Structure formats: structure tokens, C-alpha cells
Amino acid sequence: MILLRLFLTFLKIGSVAFGGGYVMIPLMRDECLTNGWLTEAELLDFIAVSESTPGPIAVNMATFVGSSQAGILGALVATLGVVLPSFCVILLVAAALRQLLRYRGVRAVLSGVRPVVVALILSTALTMFLSLTFGVGKIGDAPVFSLPGLSLFVFLCAIALLWRRLRRRPISPIFLILFSGLAGIVLFR
Amino acid sequence: MKRLLLLFLSMMKIGLFTFGGGYAMIPLLENEFVSKRGWIGDEEFFDMVAVAESTPGPIAVNMATYVGYRVGGVVGAILGTVGIVVPSFAVIFLISLVFRRFIAVAWVAAAFRGIRIAVVFLIFSAAWRLFKRLPKKPFPLTVFSLVTAAATVLSLLAVRFSSVWFILIGVGLGLAAYLFALLPRNRRGEGDK
């Protein structure tokens, strides 16, 4: 029963995704790869589309994955699943626990969760980087080095840094995505 | 009634015009509900941001639920949440209908090979941004390094270990550190507030 699977999977993701959109990426990567819903490349494409369209990345990703697996109903149950836990928690906080963050137990839990969340995002970036530019998805894979991929990555780092220096604010992700799309057409055609 | 309709429409507008997710939405919500309409006080708004960041789920959705509840109770919370989700849901659903055919075109496929590199870069920079906000103390830094190493190695070994477990381990470690600091013989070392 794919709808139930989608709903429960995204309910699980929504309940543990502390810290917003980007935490969803490691969580969704696990679930989508394990369930065979997406390949690594499709996942990256979906993230790119979610980044370049309006709205929270997590909601966009849930809608996208749900729709790709089971059409409009899939999109609905996945989005509902990812939103429901935070809706209930916030309702509880707004109605009864206004002082939630002042409890020391809650702060202690968060102090343990925050470093884990950052670590998961970094580790996802690392494994994706290895598989994209060196072709290493797991140990034992014969490396297929991609020079255009690596040069594009280095170039993106350089323009992002330069932009920060000159404009004093981070570069727009949509600009980076558009730029890399053009570069991709030149490099990979 | 009019207030609820206004809430719903404002949320839809914000949902439709913010690119880049949660943090991009905070100034828009502030402008709409604090500065323009005065439905929520300044200080309360900052508390809301803190709560939205510390509870699970997308920050934008958390904020919308909270603002909606303060404006119109449970009905307001539902309207606010639905309002902020509907525009992106509609846009993404339409894209998903044509995406597979779109990406099959040769030059689009080439463009996306470049775009994937940009996405990995964006994930790196998100990790860096969040890392800068971690307190630079032994406990968070140790947890951070161990989990980064463990998650990367497990993934490279193709061992299936869901990230959910890592987050639950984080919950456990946070509580353990807290209880450890409460032990009588460590009481004196408890300097932070």
C-alpha cells in the first residue's frame, strides 16, 4: 500500500527533522534510497527544483516525491505527513507550553540534537560530492574521476566567496543553480 | 471571519513569493503580521522564531501554524498552515507532472548534471552556516565529529542506518549530558545558566 507507506515515511521524517529544511535532505535521502523511490541523481534534481521554486524545501520535496510515486494522492499524503507532526507540536506549544524553551530538559535535548543535525547534513554533502565527482558511491567502486564536475565545484566555491567579499551577503541559490545549468550545457553536452 | 480570510490570503501570498525556504520567510511574516497589521507583538515574534527553530519540521510551516493560532485559534492555525503550503504544493505538483519528460531532453539532462554540482555546494554551505552557530564547546564538537565520521563511513560501506537513529542518539546524548551534570559530585562544575 504505497499511500500508507508514503504517509508513514514522511510522518517519521517530519517528526524528527529538527532545524528546518536542510535536515530533510539526509532524512529523505535515506528513506528514498532505501525504499527505491529515487536514485541519487533524481534526488539531487528534485532538491534543485525545490530550491528554485517558492515555498519551504521540505514541503516541496515531500510533494515531489509523493507525486512521483503515486500521483496527486501520493503528493497529498506525503505533504500531509511531513506537515502534521510540526503542526501538532506547534499547536501544543502555542496553546499550553509557551515557556517550552525555558525548560532545562528541552534545552538539553536540543543541545544534543543540534550537532547531530549539522553532522548529518555535512556527511550527506560529503557522500554526494564523492559520488558526483569521483564516482565513488561506496567503498569498492572503481573511481570515475569527473574533471568538469570538480572544476565546476571549485569555480562555484570561488564565486560564492568572492560575492560574499564584495556584496557582504550570501549569493542567491537560484543564481548558482541557473549558472551551473548553463555550465552543465557547455561542459556535458 | 474577515481576519481569518485575511490571514489565509496573506499566508498564501507569502508562500507564493518566498524562494529558498524557511529563513527567507521570517522577514516577510514579520512585515505582514507585526509591522503592518500589528496582530503580534515584537517580542512574541522573536519567541516564535526560537520555538519554530527548536521544534521538528520546516521553520516556515511552524511559523505559519504559530502565527495562525495566535490570530484565530485552532481554525487560524489550520488556515495559516494550509495557506502557506498550498502555493508550493500546486507549483511542485505541476512541475512533477512534466519533469520526467523534461529531463529526458538531451540539453536539459546536461544542464542538470551541472545543477547537481550546485546542489551539493548548497548543501555544503548550509552545513557550514549551521556549524558556525554551534557553540564551540567540547560536547557539541565531539558529537558533531563522531556523527559526521560515522554517518559518512556507514554510507560508504553501504550499511543502512537511518539518520533518524542518529537524531534519536542526539536526543539521548543531550539528556545524558544533562543528567550527568545533575549528579551531586558534578554540581560544582555546573556553571552555565
> In this complex, which of A98, A124, A132 lies closest to B116 when CB atoms are compared?
A132
For residues B82 and B8, is the Cβ–Cβ distance under 8 A?
Answer: yes
* B181 vs B186 pLDDT, higher one: B181
The verdict on B95 and B164 lying in the same domain is no
The verdict on A117 and A151 lying in the same domain is no
Q: Does residue B35 sit within a domain?
A: yes
**B128-138 burial, b if ≥16 CB within 10 A, otherwise e?**
eebbeebeeee
Give dist(CA B87, CA B141) in Å, integer. Answer: 39
Q: Name every residue whose Cβ is closer than 8 Å to that of residue A92 and which is 6 or more positions away in sequence.
A: none
Q: Write the CA distances from B88 to A54, A149, B20, B83, integer angstroms.
A: 6, 30, 12, 10
Contact list in B for residue A12 (CB cut-off 8 A) is: 164
B159 contacts chain A (CB < 8 A): no
User: Which residue of B51, B121, B131, B182 is the best one to mutate when testing the A interface, meaning the one whose CB has the most A CBs within 10 A?
Assistant: B121
- Angle at alpha carbon of residue A18, lines to A12 and A24, rounded to 5°: 60
By the 10 Å C-beta count (0-12 exposed, 13-18 middle, 19+ buried), B23 is classed as: middle
Q: What φ, ψ does residue B172 adopt, rounded to 5°?
A: -60, -45
Would you state the cell numbers that stand for residue B46, as one nine-digit string? 522573536
CA distance A153 to chain B (A): 6
The verdict on A111 and A151 lying in the same domain is no
For residues B4 and B67, is the Cβ–Cβ distance under 8 A?
Answer: no
pLDDT digits (tens, 9 = 90+) for A82-104: 999 989 988 888 887 667 667 77
pLDDT digits (tens, 9 = 90+) for A6-65: 999 999 988 888 876 788 888 888 888 888 898 888 888 888 888 778 888 888 889 999
pLDDT digits (tens, 9 = 90+) for A160-176: 889 888 887 777 777 88
pLDDT digits (tens, 9 = 90+) for B13-57: 888 877 666 667 777 888 888 888 888 888 788 778 878 877 888
The verdict on B95 and B11 lying in the same domain is yes
Residue B187 pLDDT class (50, 70, 90 cuts): low
Sign of CA dihedral A1, A28, A58, B19: negative
If DSSP codes are grouped into helix, strand and coil, which group holds residue B165?
helix
The verdict on A107 and A174 lying in the same domain is no
Angle A147-167/A173-188 helices, nearest 10 degrees?
A: 150
Contact list in A for residue B67 (CB cut-off 8 A) is: none
* A139 vs B169 pLDDT, higher one: B169
ipTM of the predicted structure? 0.84
Q: Does residue B169 sit within a domain?
A: yes
| C-alpha torsion A31→A32→A34→A37, nearest 10 | 140
Would you state the cell numbers that stand for residue A32, as one nine-digit string? 528514498
- Angle at alpha carbon of residue A10, lines to A41 and B121, rounded to 5°: 35
Q: In chain B, whose CA is at the least distance from the CA of A153? A: B117
For residues B182 and A31, is the Cβ–Cβ distance under 8 A?
Answer: no
Would you state the cell numbers that stand for residue B50, as one nine-digit string? 526560537
The verdict on B27 and B67 lying in the same domain is yes
Give dist(CA B138, CA A24) in Å, integer. Answer: 26
* A66 vs B189 pLDDT, higher one: A66
Q: Does residue B19 sit within a domain?
A: yes
The verdict on A35 and A126 lying in the same domain is yes
Q: Does residue B116 sit within a domain?
A: no
The verdict on B90 and B158 lying in the same domain is no
Domain residue limits at B29: 2-102
The verdict on A121 and A158 lying in the same domain is no
Give dist(CA A188, CA A100) in Å, integer. Answer: 51
The verdict on B20 and B97 lying in the same domain is yes
The verdict on B10 and B98 lying in the same domain is yes
The verdict on A80 and A132 lying in the same domain is yes
Give dist(CA A4, CA A11) in Å, integer. Answer: 10
Q: What pLDDT score does B17 carry? A: 76
The verdict on A180 and A127 lying in the same domain is no
The verdict on B9 and B69 lying in the same domain is yes
Number of domains in chain A: 2
Q: How many CB atoms lie within 10 A of CB A98?
A: 12
Contact list in A for residue B45 (CB cut-off 8 A) is: none
Q: Is the pLDDT of residue B192 over 80?
A: no
The verdict on B141 and B187 lying in the same domain is yes
* B17 vs B131 pLDDT, higher one: B131
Q: Kindly write down the DSSP assignment for every residue of B140-174, as one continuous string.
A: HHHHHHHHHHHHHHHHHTT----HHHHHHHHHHHH
Q: How many CB atoms lie within 10 A of CB B44?
A: 13
The verdict on B157 and B84 lying in the same domain is no
The verdict on A67 and A132 lying in the same domain is yes
The verdict on A104 and A52 lying in the same domain is yes
The verdict on B98 and B141 lying in the same domain is no
The verdict on A110 and A53 lying in the same domain is yes
The verdict on A74 and A156 lying in the same domain is no
Give dist(CA A68, CA B161) in Å, integer. Answer: 24
Out of B87, B102, B117, pick the residue that ends a domain. B102
Contact list in A for residue B57 (CB cut-off 8 A) is: 14, 17, 20, 58, 82-83, 85-87, 89-90
The verdict on B76 and B7 lying in the same domain is yes
Q: What is the mean pLDDT of residues B175-184?
A: 83
Q: What is the mean pLDDT of residues B6-18?
A: 87
Q: Is the pLDDT of residue A124 over 50?
A: yes
Q: What is the mean pLDDT of residues B88-116?
A: 86
Least reliable range by pLDDT among A54-58, A146-150, B47-51, B181-185: B181-185
Q: Does residue B129 sit within a domain?
A: no
Q: What is the mean pLDDT of residues A140-151?
A: 80
Least reliable range by pLDDT among A19-28, B146-155, B182-191: B182-191
The verdict on B149 and B191 lying in the same domain is yes
Q: Does residue B186 sit within a domain?
A: yes
Q: What pLDDT score does A6 carry? A: 93
Out of B102, B124, B151, pick the residue that ends a domain. B102
The verdict on A80 and A117 lying in the same domain is yes
Q: In chain B, whose CA is at the least distance from the CA of A100? A: B51
Give the HSE-up count for residue B2: Cα atoms under 13 Å, Cβ half-sphere. Answer: 0
- Residues in A 69-128 with any Cβ partner in B closer than 8 A: 72, 75, 79, 82-83, 85-87, 89-91, 93-95, 98, 100-101, 104-106, 108-128
Q: Is the pLDDT of residue A158 over 70?
A: yes
Q: What pLDDT score does B193 carry? A: 41
Give dist(CA B60, CA B81) in Å, integer. Answer: 9
Domain residue limits at A125: 2-145
Number of domains in chain B: 2
